[in-house]
Amino acid sequence: MAKAGVMGAGSWGTALALLLHKNGHEVTVWSIDEAEIRMLSEEREHKSKLPGVKLPEDMEFTTCMEKAVKGKDFIVLAVPSTFTRGTARKMAPYVAEGQMIVDVAKGIEEATLMTLSQQIEEEIPQADVAALSGPSHAEEVGRGLPTAVVIGARTKKTAVYLQEMFMNEVFRVYTSPDILGMELGGSLKNVIALAAGIADGMGYGDNTKAALITRGIAEIARLGVKMGGALESFTGLTGIGDLIVTCASVHSRNRKAGYLMGQGKSMQEAMDEVQMVVEGVYSTKAAVKLGEKYGVSLPIINKINEVLFEGKDPKEAVNELMLRDSKTENTALKWKE
């Protein structure tokens, strides 16, 4: 049995806390929100974000960061991406040399273009930082539905240890040394999911969504490989796998926000109605900047940026994508003659 601290009591943090508890670990969950901690402690259920999923009596909930971090075998950092750096900075005094921190959020910091693990490493240099990613909606993990994810770490030893901590008969965990590729896939797919949601909201069909998913992963992989990620990460669970589920699932907050925008609502109105952090909105500007920095063409991502922040009509954006100059699908494939 290990001692685990879970930082963040949203749907994903709560679902992973329950998973770890079922695996026999001693779990302490932290949140900055006193009302949230009081609800979890008294009701043993996250009424708004994970309704119907009961939490065990011996799972501890606290607003004391030191209590959730000190002496733990590993920490799960599950706060929204926009709060990752700030939370890591506050955690730093309590983190021991070599203590493992598993980031499970997805995003890119607009100001620095750093992934979440890079932010954590900058704020907590003494930590052993890893990442968990893949097609894994909290609503399904909390209910114990079969799920497969990937643990990325700097060393095989850390990856295998964390694999053992998380894996069970309904939660299959693979390992990878490519944290960068994993994080880029997990962050950028949210932008494509906004596009898929917009298309759904406008009444477009499965053909449209298939095109967005397929050409979307091509954009993500182009940029990711140029930045140093491995192509295999984008063709696996943390790339195309995560992209498919985020573009198609009823649980996807990014798809839902896009759907509402496709029906005519503004970005802010859509985010307010979703009532959860829509990570794709925050990653879009960073993705555009990365494309410019590395000289990579990102037509879908650029159009979503125009819709979100420049007032472009979604229908016009789709028309412009469809009427782009004709080209070959994959430049790596060569004609024989």
Active site residues: 189
Beta-bridge partner residues of 27 = 4
| Contact criterion met (CB below 8 Å) for 153 and 127 | no
Tokens 């685990």, located at residue: 4
**Both structure tokens of 245:** 């589920």
DSSP string, 114-131: -BHHHHHHHH-TTSEEEE
Q: How far apart are CA 28 and CA 62, in angstroms?
A: 7
CB atoms within 10 A of CB 22: 14
Phi, psi for residue 205 in degrees, rounded to 5: -105, -165
151 within 8 A of 144, measured Cβ to Cβ: no
Which pair of structure tokens corresponds to residue 43?
A: 């009701």
| Spatial distance between the Cα atoms of 228 and 62, rounded to a whole number of angstroms | 39
Four-point Cα dihedral 84, 89, 91, 97, nearest 10 = 110
Rounded to whole angstroms, how far apart are CA atoms 286 and 293? 10
Number of H helices, E strands in the chain: 16, 10
Write the DSSP symbol of residue 168.
Answer: B
